[in-house]
Amino acid sequence: MNCKEKLLTLLDFSAPGMEEAGRMSLAGDIDGAVAQVVRHFRGRRSPRYLFEASEAGRLVDGNILDEAEAVMRHEIFGHAFNGPIDWHFNPTADTSRDNEWSWSLFRTIYWQPLARAYALTKDDRYVREIADELKSFYEAWPAQPFIDSDDEKPQKTPFPGHAWRTIETGIRIYTTWLPCMEIVRTSPAFDDETWAIFLCSIHDHGTFLERHYSNHSHSSNWLSMEASSLLQLGIMFPEMTDSQKWAHAGYQRIMHELAYCFDNDGVHMEHTPIYHLVASIAFLQAVRLCTLNDIPVAPYAMTLLERSAEYLLRIVKPDFSTPMIGDADRNSLLDRRSDTSVYEGMNLSFFPDDLNELRAYFKLMSRLTGRGDFLYAATGGAEGEAPARREYAMRETGLYVSRTGWTRTDSYMHIHGVQLERGEKSTHSHNDNGHVELTLHGEDVLIDCGRYIYNSSCWKDWRHYFTYALAHNTLYVDDHLMGAVPGVDRVRGVRTVLHAFRRTDDYQLIDVSHNGYAFMDDSVFHRRKLVFLPAVESAVVLDYVTGLGEADHDFRLIWNFAGRDVVLRNDEVADFTTPRGTAFRMTSVATSADIDSVRYEVDGSKVGPDGSDSPWTSRLYCGSEDPIAGWVSYGYPVRKPVGQVQRCLLGRVPALSVTVVGKRELPVRITIEGGRADVEIGGRRLLVGNEEVEVV
């Protein structure tokens, strides 16, 4: 049975507009029936899709045609195929052996510039390329063996993976195939044979997604894409006999998971900005498609989706980028595209009016809600109104954000103690509770180091580094996996307790502790206070390390700077110069189990209780491969060197460290005595006890 014959067995000829095709099919006129089906799909006005093809033709961008021509030459994700696309080839075979490259290939995101180029030019060459790649994909990866598999992750295959994981199946539909269909469906280059293959494959996707549902057995972002695509297929293809079954299953999954995947702050359960964005857009598309086609939605649907946009707004940094919490890249609202990855990127959406999906998302949410703060984010502060609030304590999420304002020269800080995925498998969370991110005067000073690469590659040591405490501004202890529970694999029970979160005229305070090291043989506890002094635009971080004190540990306070220009002056002082030339200084002083008081003077002298030196020492790394240290990744899978300072102690608890970060010209004096800290910065004096904070 060829594709045309197969297609006619999948259609419901009682659906509006399909009657004539049904009569021709019944008469045995296969070609005529398929031609009638194609005429129907080219000209139909319902169901309504998320946008109309004409909207994609109004986007003004000088690089779309060049990008489309590169795809025409089969230059994809940094690799140039010599001839047609080989759907079983992976160019990382001799390096990282990363399945993510193949999985990205199978998602067909690179059809988007072809469709956009056609929308701009009406040149059928671009449509013929989509048609050719569709046909070759259909032949290379037949769906039936995967549809028939009983395995929840059908037919696991060795490197380089296969095209029918549920996540790729979902991504293809809602990010590429449906938007491309809307744009190219009237083109004669999308001919009868192509339509037959396309619609047969659409049926394969719907059948597969209805039968195979990850349902939190993998990272929960999977199910958001699977369920959204299944519901969209059910709504958009009423001509198919199975469409009602797809729509019913997809609708139930979407409406259930909306209330389960997002907490009451609107934060997705994986707690990483880019996966949050992916899930939010997938759910939003499904809800909007329901609304456009007069299908009722749950009362909480738009409430939670509005809150999910609020979450991203709350964490946006002064430069209008998102922080790299967990597995995340640096995504900017100001760039042409927000996605910075070579492949395995997060541009998992299609907006007809903007290539930057983060910006387009905020523009859409502004239109849907009428909110000026969403428009403020979408326009980089040029339009709308800045949010009124500057502090956000998201207790259920474990994320605490404070800022001096919403301009590009303001200061910003957060501590996160992510409540890891509510007991889910911790695929996209990092071992980073207590991590501090700091922006001063609009310039990044302390950063998260990103994700770099996944365990789908053979570079396991690099994955270990980027997910563990060493790549975060927090306390590292003995390379212990934060929150590890004996006998439990890949599920971490890390929880963070908020002790205080407040703003006064003199300071802003975030005070947390966590249970990440409780299951060590000799339990260790870490409490961190982040105090910001707006009068001198400086931050003070106080780290209290306590526990049973029965054994020595390898303690390291890690500080990752936003650039390479870091100079370690001595064990207490590190200087950092930003790419713009701004000079900052970090000054750190600490006690230990053996020395319970210390004083650091403005002139750089350090005095212990008996004149002895502190057992704390400092190391500076920048782009080191042995040991791995001093790296950042702003996009998958690219890394670059940055300065990293490690403050190290081999010893027992208790210990107290005080770290001051501010402009280099500000004089600093630090005294620690009896568990209390007395800090002077540029004429401002901060007194901090166990529970007290005072500026004098």
Residue owning tokens 């936003």: 562
Longest dimension (CA), the chain: 103
Asked, for residue 386, whether it belongs to a domain, the answer is no
Quote the number of domains for the chain: 3
Asked, for residue 383, whether it belongs to a domain, the answer is no
Residues 159 and 135 in one domain: yes
Asked, for residue 118, whether it belongs to a domain, the answer is yes
Residues 79 and 184 in one domain: yes
Sign for the pseudo-dihedral over CA of 5, 11, 14, 16: negative
Distances (CA, A) of 428 to 213, 308, 328, 376, 418: 19, 18, 9, 29, 11
Percentage with pLDDT > 90 across the chain? 86
pLDDT at 539 over 50: yes
Residues 366 and 424 in one domain: no
From CA 603, how far away is CA 605, in angstroms rounded? 6
Note the pLDDT tens digit of each residue in 419-458.
655 445 556 888 899 999 999 999 999 999 999 999 999 9
> Can you give the CATH number for the domain in which 491 is found?
2.70.98.70
Last residue within a domain, chosen from 309, 343, 378: 378
Strand partners, 332: 321
Long-range contacts of 210-214 (CB under 8 A, 24+ apart): 210/242, 210/245, 210/246, 210/249, 210/250, 211/147, 212/146, 212/147, 212/149, 212/152, 212/154, 212/166, 213/166, 213/249, 213/253, 214/152, 214/153, 214/166, 214/167
Instruction: Spell 3-27 as b/e; 16+ CB within 10 A means b.
Output: bbeebbebbebebebbeebbebbee
Distances (CA, A) of 472 to 122, 313, 561, 579, 582: 49, 23, 10, 21, 23
pLDDT of residue 155: 47
Residues 328 and 425 in one domain: no
Looking at per-residue confidence, does 154 or 332 come out higher?
332
From CA 163, how far away is CA 90, in angstroms rounded? 13
**What's the average model confidence in pLDDT over 239-268?**
96
Cβ neighbourhood burial of 232 (10 Å; 0-12, 13-18, 19+): buried
Residues 5 and 85 in one domain: no
Residue owning tokens 């006619």: 8
From CA 5, how far away is CA 28, in angstroms rounded? 10
138's enclosing H/E stretch is: helix 124-140
From CA 80, how far away is CA 330, in angstroms rounded? 26
**What's the average model confidence in pLDDT over 271-289?**
96
Note the pLDDT tens digit of each residue in 468-512.
999 999 999 998 888 777 777 656 678 889 999 999 999 999 999
Residues 8 and 65 in one domain: no
Q: From 520, 510, 514, select the one nearest 484 (Cα to Cα).
A: 520
Asked, for residue 384, whether it belongs to a domain, the answer is no
Please state, as a whole number, how many other Cβ atoms lie within 10 Å of the Cβ of residue 338: 27
* Out of 183-192, 334-343, 345-354, 678-687, least confident range: 345-354
> Can you give the CATH number for the domain in which 84 is found?
1.50.10.100
Q: From 464, 461, 458, 456, select the one nearest 99 (Cα to Cα).
A: 456
pLDDT of residue 214: 87
From CA 2, how far away is CA 497, in angstroms rounded? 62
pLDDT at 611 over 80: no
Residues 365 and 501 in one domain: no
Range of the domain at 200: 46-378
Contact 188, 125 (CB under 8 A): no
**What's the average model confidence in pLDDT over 77-86?**
97
pLDDT of residue 1: 80
pTM over 0.85? The answer is yes
Residues 458 and 533 in one domain: yes
Residues 133 and 190 in one domain: yes
Asked, for residue 204, whether it belongs to a domain, the answer is yes
**What's the average model confidence in pLDDT over 180-203?**
98
Asked, for residue 236, whether it belongs to a domain, the answer is yes
Asked, for residue 317, whether it belongs to a domain, the answer is yes
Residues 373 and 400 in one domain: no
pLDDT of residue 479: 86
**What's the average model confidence in pLDDT over 77-99?**
97
Sign for the pseudo-dihedral over CA of 77, 82, 83, 84: negative
Q: What is the DSSP letter of 174?
A: I
**What's the average model confidence in pLDDT over 455-471?**
95
User: DSSP characters for 629-656?
Assistant: ESEEEEETTEEEE-EEEEEEEEE-S-EE
Contact 50, 288 (CB under 8 A): yes
Last residue within a domain, chosen from 378, 408, 433: 378
Sorted by sequence, the CB contacts under 8 Å of residue 537 that are 6+ apart come out as 404, 411, 440, 441, 662, 663
Which tokens is 192 given? 């009868």
Give the end-to-end CA distance of the chain in Å, rounded to a whole number: 85
From CA 695, how far away is CA 354, in angstroms rounded? 47
pLDDT at 153 over 90: no
From CA 317, how far away is CA 407, in angstroms rounded? 9
From CA 116, how far away is CA 129, in angstroms rounded? 13
Cβ neighbourhood burial of 598 (10 Å; 0-12, 13-18, 19+): buried
Note the pLDDT tens digit of each residue in 123-133.
999 999 999 99
**What's the average model confidence in pLDDT over 82-108?**
97
Average pLDDT across the chain, whole number: 94
Residues 359 and 466 in one domain: no
Residues 12 and 122 in one domain: no
Note the pLDDT tens digit of each residue in 4-46.
999 999 999 999 999 999 999 999 999 999 999 999 999 999 9
**What's the average model confidence in pLDDT over 240-260?**
97
Long-range contacts of 293-299 (CB under 8 A, 24+ apart): 293/46, 293/47, 293/48, 293/235, 295/235, 295/251, 297/255, 298/255, 298/258, 298/259
Phi–psi pair at 10, nearest 5 degrees: -100, -5
From CA 126, how far away is CA 87, in angstroms rounded? 20
Contact 80, 73 (CB under 8 A): yes
